[in-house]
């Protein structure tokens, strides 16, 4: 019983060898190619990632009518931004919705069952989001959790927690930081962190 | 009952580990890529055919069912992608794509020589299909006429459905009441039929608003509301 949670010392090298063995066998047996895994990873470097979400949020900051459309129908509004990469309604983003932080409202996106995350606009979920401790605690005590991320939300602000468990993927439009008047959209996008689009942080200050 | 379904609100846990990386070991990127390729090559999807030898259905539901079926202590013991690696190897062995013996033997080779190169080659159509899947997705929305039983503003109670292997119902919501915030247009299927749990066939999905104080009386924070997207099978009339 005492070794219930024991891991061998070579935990990571064993997993690394096993996954490499698996990839080799799948290539040999004609299931995938020697380029397949890198093809997937390239998509998350260049096409699906938080760089898209940051541009969408920055556009919403400078264009209030766009922000309204984004909240009402996120896929349609995102489709207006024709210079985004293809696939903005692709895997794990077929039905996205956006919620906006504002005066008296703070939004937090979680997935208590696993790790649902809007891939096209945010890429892949970071470890904190998948951590059973976060998933458990954020539902019942979001302010305590946000404090551990360095964000204090007063009791007078309503905290809305969005638990993703059907097929809708949520993201947050954080508030535009003070002191950003006159900044260009691309300068503003640099302030929009992945954490701010899940609601565990606010956008960075300039 | 599977503990994995009931994480929301669990008490007695320590501080959050704020690890912002997506992958903490390089090998995790490879199992993520393999899983995504298997989903893309799964034959029920309407993409071009390829010479890939993959011929059985693999979806998120398979991965999730595996994690939900783990001994709960193992669920917490193993890191996210360790669970993926175990589940995917098990599936590929069970479906006859590889044998456990050849996987063990090849693992031993890479343990002895981690830099031994991977085999090369394969049909480019396979990779094009993987790209197509990522760009197109696999929408669960179905072109089926449904009549939602509830409207926005209705109070509903979450049913205590008999879940078997897999569910999309967060356990902490069972038997609790909330208010329908949104009735999503149209009907949503699911990747598999969850049996007596009730999802799979196209049905409405509701966004339901719960007061945290109703979910955890006297044991939550003020001014917190929780919204959950719930398949119609999980939602019923409140008890009179």
Going by pLDDT thresholds of 50, 70 and 90, the confidence category of residue A165 is confident
Instruction: Look at residue A4 and tell me whether its pLDDT is greater than 90.
Output: no
B129 in A contact zone (CB under 8 Å): no
pLDDT given at position B205: 97
DSSP alpha helix (H) spans, B119-164: 124-136
- Is A114 one of the catalytic residues? yes
B121 in A contact zone (CB under 8 Å): yes
> How far is B77 from B111, CA to CA, in rounded Å?
23
- Stretch 61-100 of chain B: residues touching chain A, C-beta under 8 Å: 64, 67, 73, 75-77, 80, 82, 85, 88-89, 92, 97-98
Instruction: Look at residue A190 and tell me whether its pLDDT is greater than 60.
Output: yes
pLDDT given at position A166: 78
pLDDT given at position A3: 81
pLDDT digits (tens, 9 = 90+) for A141-157: 999 999 999 999 999 99
pLDDT given at position A1: 53
Out of B26, B121, B137, name the one closest to residue A90 (CB).
Answer: B137
- The answer to whether A143 touches A196, Cβ cutoff 8 Å, is no
Angle between helices A64-72 and A50-62 (to 10 degrees): 130
- Is A116 one of the catalytic residues? yes
Q: Which one has a higher pLDDT value, A4 or B15?
A: B15
The mean pLDDT value for B28-55 works out to 98
| Structural domains of chain B in order of their starting residue, each with its CATH number | 3-138 (1.10.472.20), 142-236 (2.30.30.50)
Contact A13 B73 (CB under 8 A): no
- Is A111 one of the catalytic residues? yes
Going by pLDDT thresholds of 50, 70 and 90, the confidence category of residue B53 is very high
Contact A94 B41 (CB under 8 A): no
A114 is in an annotated binding site: yes
pLDDT given at position A87: 97
pLDDT given at position B225: 98
**Rg of chain A taking only CA atoms, in angstroms:** 20
Catalytic residue among A15, A34, A114, A184: A114
Q: Give percent above pLDDT 70 in chain B.
A: 100
| Structural domains of chain A in order of their starting residue, each with its CATH number | 8-46 (no CATH), 49-198 (3.90.330.10)
Instruction: Look at residue A2 and tell me whether its pLDDT is greater than 80.
Output: no
Instruction: Look at residue A85 and tell me whether its pLDDT is greater than 90.
Output: yes
The whole-chain average pLDDT of chain A stands at: 97
Kind of pairing between the strands at B155-158 and A105-110: unpaired
| Phi–psi pair at A19, nearest 5 degrees | -70, -30
pLDDT given at position B89: 98
DSSP state letters, A115-177: ----HHHH-SPPHHHH-HHHHHHHHH-HHHHHHHTT----TTSEEEEEE--SS-EEEEEPPPP
Contact A136 B9 (CB under 8 A): yes
Contact A168 B229 (CB under 8 A): yes
Q: Model pTM?
A: 0.97
The mean pLDDT value for B123-128 works out to 98
């Amino acid at each position: 019983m005492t070794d219930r949670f024991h891991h061998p010392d070579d935990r990571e090298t064993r997993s690394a060898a096993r996954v490499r063995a698996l990839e080799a066998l799948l290539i040999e047996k004609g299931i995938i190619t020697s380029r397949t895994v890198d093809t997937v990873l390239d998509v998350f470097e260049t096409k699906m990632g938080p760089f898209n979400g940051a541009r969408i949020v920055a556009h919403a900051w400078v264009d209030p009518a766009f922000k309204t459309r984004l909240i009402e129908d996120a896929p349609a509004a995102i489709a207006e931004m024709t210079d985004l990469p293809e696939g903005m309604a692709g895997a794990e983003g077929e039905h996205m919705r956006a919620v906006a932080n504002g005066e008296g409202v703070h939004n937090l996106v979680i997935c208590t069952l696993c790790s649902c995350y809007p891939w096209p606009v945010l890429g892949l979920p970071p470890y904190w989001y998948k951590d059973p401790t976060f998933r458990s605690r954020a539902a019942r005590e979001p302010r305590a959790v946000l404090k551990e991320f360095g964000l204090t939300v007063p009791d007078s602000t309503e905290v809305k927690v969005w638990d993703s468990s059907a097929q809708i993927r949520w993201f947050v439009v954080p508030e535009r930081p003070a002191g950003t008047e006159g900044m260009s959209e691309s300068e503003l996008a640099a302030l929009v962190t992945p954490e701010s689009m899940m609601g565990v942080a606010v956008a960075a200050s300039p | 009952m599977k503990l994995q379904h009931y994480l929301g609100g669990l008490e007695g846990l320590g501080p959050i580990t704020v690890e912002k990386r997506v992958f903490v070991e390089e090998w995790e990127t490879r199992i993520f890529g393999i899983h995504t390729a298997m989903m893309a090559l799964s034959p029920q999807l309407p993409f071009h055919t390829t010479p890939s030898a993959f011929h059985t259905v693999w979806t998120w539901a398979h991965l999730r069912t595996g994690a939900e079926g783990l001994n709960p202590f193992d669920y917490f013991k193993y890191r996210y992608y360790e669970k993926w690696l175990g589940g995917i190897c098990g599936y590929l062995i069970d479906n006859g794509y590889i044998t456990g013996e050849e996987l063990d033997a090849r693992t031993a080779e890479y343990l002895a020589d981690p830099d031994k190169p991977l085999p090369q080659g394969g049909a480019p159509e396979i990779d094009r299909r993987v790209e197509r899947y990522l760009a197109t997705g696999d929408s669960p929305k179905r072109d089926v006429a449904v009549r939602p039983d509830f409207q926005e503003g209705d109070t509903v109670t979450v049913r205590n459905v008999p879940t078997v292997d897999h569910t999309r119902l967060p356990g902490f919501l069972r038997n609790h009441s909330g208010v329908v915030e949104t009735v999503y247009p149209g009907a949503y299927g699911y990747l598999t039929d969850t049996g007596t749990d009730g999802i799979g066939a196209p049905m409405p999905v509701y966004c339901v608003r719960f007061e945290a104080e109703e979910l955890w009386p006297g044991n939550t924070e003020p001014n917190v509301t929780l919204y959950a997207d719930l398949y119609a099978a999980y939602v019923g009339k409140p008890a009179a």
